[in-house]
C-alpha cells in the first residue's frame, strides 16, 4: 500500500524524462519560449544590432585610413582594411552575445524560473540548451543584418557561396560555444547586472588581443603568440580565408592555428562547447536562486 509520504516524495521530486529524442524536444520547447520572449521585447534585438553597426562605421571610416594591412597596395588602404576588418566585426558580434545569454539566465534564476523548470519532469540540460539555441538564432539574424550593412560599405565575399556559408557557419559555431560560457556565468552570479559585467570583462581583452582589428605583426612578441593561439583569432583568420578577404601578399603567421585556421576554429569551438556545457549543466543541477 502506498503511503502519503511516498506520494509526496514522488510529487516533490519528479523524475526527468530520458532519451536523446526527449531531450531534443524539451530543448526546442525552451528555445521556442525564449524566441517568443525576444520577439515580445524587440528593443533587445534592435539594441543588439546598434553596437556592431557602430563598430563597422567607426573602424571603417575613422580608423580605416590610418591602419595598414600587410600585403595591401599602400600603407593604409582603406578599402582593403574594410574587407580585412569585417571578419573581426562578425566574430566580435557573435561572441558579445555571451553577455546577453548570461544576463538572461541570471534573470531567470533571480525570478525563480529556473527552480520551476527544475521541478518539471524534463531533461536537465534542456533549459540551458534551449536558451543557447535561442541565442544562436538571434546571432544568425544579427549576422544577416550586419552582412547587409557590410555590403553597403564595400565588403564582398570573393570565394563563392559555399565558402561564404562555411565562414558564417564557423562564426555561428563560435558564438554558440561562447554562449555556454555565458550560461555558466549566468548560473554563477546572483544578478543580471553582474552577469552582464562578468560576460564582457573578459571578452574585451580576448577580442582585442587578437588579429580581429590589426595584424599580429604589429604587436609585441608576447602578445603576438597570445593573439595567434587565441580561439577567437582562429575563427577570424578562417573566415577571412573563406571570404577571400586577405590581401594577396598578406604574411600568414607561422603558428599552427594561423596555418590551419578552419580546422583550428572548429576544434576550439567544439572543445569550448564540451567543456563549458558540462560545467554549466552540473552547475544548473545544484544552483539555487
Q: How far apart are CA 159 and CA 94, in angstroms?
A: 22
Q: How far apart are CA 190 and CA 288, in angstroms?
A: 10
Q: How far apart are CA 91 and CA 82, in angstroms?
A: 15
Tens digit of each residue's pLDDT, the chain (289 residues):
445 444 444 444 444 555 677 788 888 888 888 888 777 777 777 777 787 788 788 877 776 666 667 655 555 556 778 888 889 999 998 998 888 788 888 887 777 777 777 777 777 778 888 889 988 998 998 899 899 888 888 888 999 999 999 999 999 999 999 999 998 998 888 788 888 888 788 998 999 999 998 888 889 999 999 999 999 999 999 999 999 998 877 888 999 999 999 999 999 999 999 999 999 988 888 764 4
**Alpha-carbon dihedral sign for residues 238, 88, 171, 273:** positive
Match 564582457 to its residue by C-alpha cell: 200
Amino acid at each position: 500500500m502506498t503511503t502519503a509520504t511516498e506520494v509526496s516524495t514522488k510529487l516533490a521530486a519528479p523524475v526527468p524524462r530520458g532519451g536523446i529524442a526527449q531531450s531534443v524536444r524539451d530543448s526546442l520547447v525552451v528555445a521556442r519560449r525564449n524566441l517568443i520572449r525576444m520577439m515580445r521585447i524587440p528593443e533587445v534585438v534592435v539594441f543588439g544590432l546598434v553596437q556592431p553597426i557602430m563598430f563597422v562605421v567607426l573602424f571603417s571610416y575613422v580608423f580605416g585610413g590610418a591602419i595598414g594591412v600587410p600585403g595591401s597596395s599602400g600603407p593604409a588602404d582603406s578599402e582593403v582594411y574594410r574587407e580585412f576588418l569585417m571578419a573581426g566585426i562578425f566574430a566580435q558580434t557573435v561572441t558579445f552575445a555571451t553577455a546577453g545569454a548570461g544576463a538572461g539566465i541570471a534573470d531567470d534564476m533571480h525570478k525563480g524560473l529556473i527552480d520551476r523548470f527544475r521541478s518539471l519532469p524534463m531533461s536537465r540540460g534542456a533549459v540551458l540548451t534551449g536558451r543557447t539555441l535561442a541565442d544562436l538564432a538571434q546571432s544568425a539574424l544579427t549576422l544577416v543584418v550586419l552582412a547587409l550593412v557590410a555590403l553597403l560599405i564595400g565588403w564582398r565575399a570573393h570565394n563563392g557561396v559555399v565558402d561564404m556559408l562555411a565562414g558564417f557557419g564557423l562564426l555561428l559555431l563560435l558564438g554558440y560555444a561562447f554562449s555556454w560560457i555565458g550560461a555558466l556565468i549566468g548560473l554563477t552570479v546572483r544578478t543580471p547586472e553582474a552577469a552582464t559585467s562578468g560576460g564582457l570583462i573578459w571578452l574585451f581583452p580576448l577580442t582585442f588581443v587578437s588579429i580581429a582589428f590589426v595584424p599580429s605583426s604589429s604587436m609585441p612578441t608576447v602578445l603576438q603568440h597570445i593573439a595567434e593561439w587565441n580561439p577567437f583569432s582562429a575563427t577570424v583568420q578562417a573566415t577571412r580565408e573563406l571570404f577571400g578577404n586577405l590581401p594577396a601578399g598578406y604574411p600568414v603567421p607561422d603558428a599552427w592555428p594561423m596555418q590551419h585556421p578552419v580546422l583550428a576554429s572548429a576544434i576550439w569551438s567544439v572543445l569550448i562547447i564540451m567543456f563549458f556545457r558540462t560545467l554549466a549543466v552540473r552547475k544548473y543541477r545544484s544552483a539555487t536562486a
